[in-house]
Amino acid sequence: TRVYQTADGPVRALGGVSLDVTAGEFVAVRGPSGCGKSTLLTIVGGLGMPTSGHVVVGGEDLVAMGPAARARFRAERVGFVFQMFHLLPYLTVLENVVAAALPGTRASARQRGRELLERFQLSDRLRHRPAELSTGERQRVAIARALINRTRLILADEPTGNLDAESSEAVLQILAGFQRDGGTVLLVTHQEQAAAYAGRPVLLRDGLLQSNETGGPTAPAGTSTGPA
């Protein structure tokens, strides 16, 4: 449950959502604007806290953690991808990716960053600034950044919401490849096209789960990426 306190009173963003995601699943959370999708994702990723309830990710209880442990959890365990990319405009493409590397791994991160960017067809863009890229390219940089620490979990909040059909497809193929290599994907979207990549649809409405069919990992065809 997540209730936001606002000047106009409490807003119940999540009204008691119970969701189990198995490692290796690709789950698409859909629902109308304002139904609580982003709130759910930030809570799973340790960016936000529930008002009540439990959140366990990879065996770690996020509610029981202190803020420092939660920050470490986010850095080490979660790859976030956002609709608006959130790249740093004054850094180059490669610098954006490497900047997310854990302390002490910066040297090897440059090499891994290059490899990821090459895999995402960006090897000739390493020194470009985000403003010099197409939106699809920017999102691929953001995914490389999300993967720099070899996370096993990607949380993607409408990652194709600002992309044309072709760029969306490329992003979804990357997420599918990540899953095929053993990663877990929690994708928030309101696009049918995007949800089609998921093994399991989850529908939220007014902060409540509408459907939560159980299902195992599925692997649509596509390019290979992954946590390995």
Binding site for ligand ADP (CB under 6 A): 4, 6, 11, 13, 31, 33-39
198 token code pair? 């998921």
Of 137 and 158, which CB lies nearer to ligand ADP in the complex structure? 158
Size of the site for Mg ion (CB under 5 A): 2
Q: Pick from Mg ion, ligand ADP, none: which does 6 bind, CB < 5 to 8 A by kind?
A: ligand ADP
90 binds, among Mg ion, ligand ADP, none (CB under 5 to 8 A by kind): none
Enumerate helices (H) and strands (E) in the chain, giving the number of each: 7, 10
Helix, coil or strand: residue 10: strand
Closest to Mg ion by CB, 38 or 139: 38
List Cβ neighbours of 107 (8 Å cut-off, separation of 6 or more).
none
Specify the residue, 6 or 214, whose C-beta has the smaller distance to ligand ADP: 6
- What residues between 10 and 69 interact with Mg ion by CB under 5 A? 37-38
Q: From CA 20, how far away is CA 158, in angstroms rounded?
A: 20
The residue whose Cβ lies closest to Mg ion is: 38
Helices (H), 88-214: 93-98, 106-119, 135-147, 165-180, 192-195
Work out how close the CB of 208 gets to ligand ADP at its nearest, in angstroms, rounded to a whole number.
12
11 binds, among Mg ion, ligand ADP, none (CB under 5 to 8 A by kind): ligand ADP
Return the number of the residue (37 or 119) whose C-beta is nearest ligand ADP.
37
Q: How far is CA 224 from CA 130, 146, 179, 211, 220, in A?
A: 24, 16, 9, 30, 11
Amino acid at 5: Q
Determine the Cα angle at 48 with ends 44 and 49, to 5°: 85
Residue with Cβ nearer Mg ion (38 or 149)? 38
Name the binder of 136 from Mg ion, ligand ADP, none, CB < 5-8 A by kind: none
| Residue 65 interface partner, choices Mg ion, ligand ADP, none, CB cut-off 5-8 Å depending on type | none
Q: How far apart are CA 196 and CA 188, in angstroms?
A: 12
Residue ranges that bind Mg ion, judged by CB under 5 A: 37-38
